[in-house]
Structure 1
Amino acid sequence: MKTVAHTAIEPGILYFGTPVVLISTTNEDETVNLAPMSSAFWLGWRAVLGLGARSKTTQNLLRTREGVLNLPSEALAPQVDRLAMTTGSDPVPAGKQERGYFHVADKFARAGLTPVPSSTVGPPRVAECPVAMEVVVEAVHPVGDDGGVLAFEVRVQRVWVHEEIRLAGTEDHIDPDRWRPLVMSFQKFYGLGPQVHPSTLARIPERLYRGPDIDRARRVPGAPEVGQQV
């Protein structure tokens, strides 16, 4: 294999490619905010979300300590893009005004998406998203020195999926060949291509990764039985 030299650069952002998440949260007046983001990763039944400290989603998560992480498929890129440059904050924060953001009260209507009730948290799920995870906030950590970004550690209480992405013949497995997440890389939308190489890690049964948060989720009041469709 030919050796290629590296070049030192200083890009303004380091978004090398992560799934898009639509976070639904509850506003002070009991209306719903829906916001796209892509600074998220998962460990077991927990996720870490990187959010601007002054965003409406951040304010709602800090106040209510709950939300829903809706994962759109690549087919929902147009709907997600309708939420670009919008904010649930009124007035619009100065930093977002500078970037051209504007206030939208009903984000579901603007995106053309459908809210459906959650089972363990107040904010609704997005019906069109193939994956929706009801979460509660476990911890909040400042990121950087200027206080402009917060990292939320959230715990998943319930996972909902469309039947079309569930692995045939299993109760609780996702078929990675049928799940096509919407991915953002350097502010542009992409999908996934086919598997490029067999994975040695895929030989490990998923059940060996199951942690105590799954048993904890089963004890949440109102949590539906696995396999129940709502």
Structure 2
Amino acid sequence: MHRVVDLKVLYFGTPVVLISTRNPDGTANLAPMSSAWWLDDQCMLGMNTGAQTTINLARERECVLNLPSADLVTAVDRLALLTGSPTLSPHKVNKGYRHEPDKFGAAGLTPVPSDLVAAPRVAECPIQLECELLSAAPFGIDTDAIAHTVRVVRAHVADDLVLPGTQYIDPVGWDPLIMKFCEFFGGGAQVHPSRLAEAWRMPHPEPSR
């Protein structure tokens, strides 16, 4: 049996990405997001028009997509309600966001230099993708979303995730951190409480007995 449901959220599960960009003063910004998908060597990123990452991307036209594994969920969750912008919208104030200029420090993560872009990589992330911005366009109707298309210009991958003798990721060894309806999952199981889900007042199912 199925029922017709007026779903409030269409967010069925995508990998978490930590996007590192460079601020106007040369410092690093680090933002978690999970509206991302890849095709060939390009990726589409969906973000809010007022986000510091969006502003930085428009100016610098480059970024790093750092893919955390599920065991980095605690660090990612520390970033959930932080913003690199000193000016907070009423929406973000209502959700409990606060300005944090040192996102790497707040998350307990380590910046390392990239090869081809100015933004740093996240040392702890097993996969780090240096990217150049190809395009940006409004997304949807009556939304504040923008779709960025970026091209991967260099990929850094942990040795143990590369299938020996190939240029391919081991899909069994790679356990990405997944966000599903604002909750964190890894290996098919919920791995950590989510500050974002709490801020958005997402309903939680009763635990199984």
TM exceeding 0.5: yes
Distance 1:147 1:185 in 2: 21
Residue 144 of structure 1 aligns with an amino acid whose one-letter code is G
Residue 66 of structure 1 aligns with an amino acid whose one-letter code is E
CA RMSD of aligned residues (A): 1.0
Aligned to 1:150: 146
Distance 2:9 2:47 in 1: 14
1:166-199 deviation per Cα after TM superposition (whole angstroms, max 9, x unaligned): 11232x1111111110000000000135xxxxxx
Residue 133 of structure 2 aligns with an amino acid whose one-letter code is V
Identical-pair percentage: 52
Residue 41 of structure 1 aligns with an amino acid whose one-letter code is W
Pairwise CA distance, 1:56: 0.5
Distance 1:62 1:112 in 2: 27
1:5-60 deviation per Cα after TM superposition (whole angstroms, max 9, x unaligned): 22122222211000000000011111110000000000000000000011010010
The answer to whether the 8 Å contact 1:136/1:154 transfers is yes
Structure 1 runs (4+) greater than 4 angstroms displaced = none
Residue 117 of structure 2 aligns with an amino acid whose one-letter code is V
Mean CA deviation greater in 84-93 or 46-55: 84-93
Distance 1:61 1:146 in 2: 22
Pairwise CA distance, 1:147: 4.7
Matches of residues 95-106 of structure 1 in structure 2 within 5 Å? 95-106=91-102
Q: Residue 36 of structure 1: SS of its match in structure 2? A: strand
Higher strand proportion (structure 1 or 2): 2
Distance 1:115 1:192 in 2: 27
2:118 is aligned with 1:130: no
Distance 1:8 1:53 in 2: 32
Query: Which structure: larger Rg?
Result: 1
Aligned length: 188
Listed as ranges, the gaps of 5+ residues in structure 2 are 189-209
Aligned to 2:183: 188
Q: 2:11 aligns with which of 15, 18, 32?
A: 15
